[in-house]
Amino acid sequence: MNGILPLYKERGMTSNDCVFKCRKIFKMRRIGHSGTLDPTVDGVLPICIGSATKVVNYLMDSGKIYTGEITLGFATTTEDLEGERVAQQDITTPFNAAEIAAAMNKLTGEMIQIPPLYSAIKVKGRRLYDYARAGDPVERPKRKIQVDYFKQVKPPVFDAEKKEQRLYFEVGCGKGTYIRTLAVDLGKKLGVPAVMSDLTRLASGGFTIGQAITLEQLHKAADDGTLSQYLVDADHALRKFPHHSLTSAQWKKVKNGGFLSEAELKDCFPAPQVVLMNSGRARCIYRLNLEKNRYQPEQMIDLAEGEH
């Protein structure tokens, strides 16, 4: 069984928990997810099954959409509600919607972001959260991110008793963007400590939350023998690339990892990457080598002969 499953990840589970449960449901090991969601976050988590694991990186390149809540007035070690408070500043005069929108606009486009200390990014072979827990000093790597938009979805709420203000947002962004850090950076733009207090991923890998399947639904489908109906072809992750249908002679070459000339792929030239199709299935991705005037293998996906 091969394909991409748009899973709905519930809160309280790690992304790896979801993979483990899917392996038990599908009774196969070759399963992986396409982008970690923290345990406190719910939403769309695309899962790649079988040969579709070969397209995980391409799936991760697709944009993501989140919705959630930011609380102004305090900050934590983890940049969300899981950590200990490390800063506090009473909000006595709430920010209006126009002030918040102006600050959000400054956090759009291509930017450099420093990921949270409590994150799974590796530095010299160790996760950042391992450094944090051990109290060891570490320089966090700067990362280039893309934020397409960052907007309010309903009016902010001021809590006069707690002296805090809650903002409700939606953000569209590229891979590698930490929304927790975006929340903290918004607070900095406003001149107050801030924390991400709620988050849901609405879309990822070209799937929306309305398309996402729950683990409960998967268990039922396993009992009914209908699991395959929830899988989307691996080609879903490759929609942005031009596609070429192979001739019999070309397919024979490709199966053995052979090169294809520019002339053989003239319908796609000069595209840097091309998805090669056979029998209606995405078989591999070839990359253009301009120096040698040919296309050559970048990623083999599915070279099996039979139909799925």
* First vs last C-alpha separation in the chain: 7
Is residue 254 within a helix (H) or strand (E), and if so which, with residue range? helix 248-255
CA-closest candidate to residue 153, choices 186, 113, 212, 104: 104
Peptide bond into 270 cis (omega under 30): yes
Q: Which residues pair with 48 in a beta bridge?
A: 4, 32
Residue 190: what residue type?
Answer: L
Strand partners of residue 152:
169
Of residues 38, 80, 185, 235, which has the active-site annotation? 38
Distance CA 287, CA 157 (A): 51
Provide the 8-state DSSP code for 265: G
Tell me the sheet residues that pair with 244.
276
Q: Is 38 a catalytic residue?
A: yes
Residue 240 identity: K
Which residues are identified as catalytic? Answer: 38
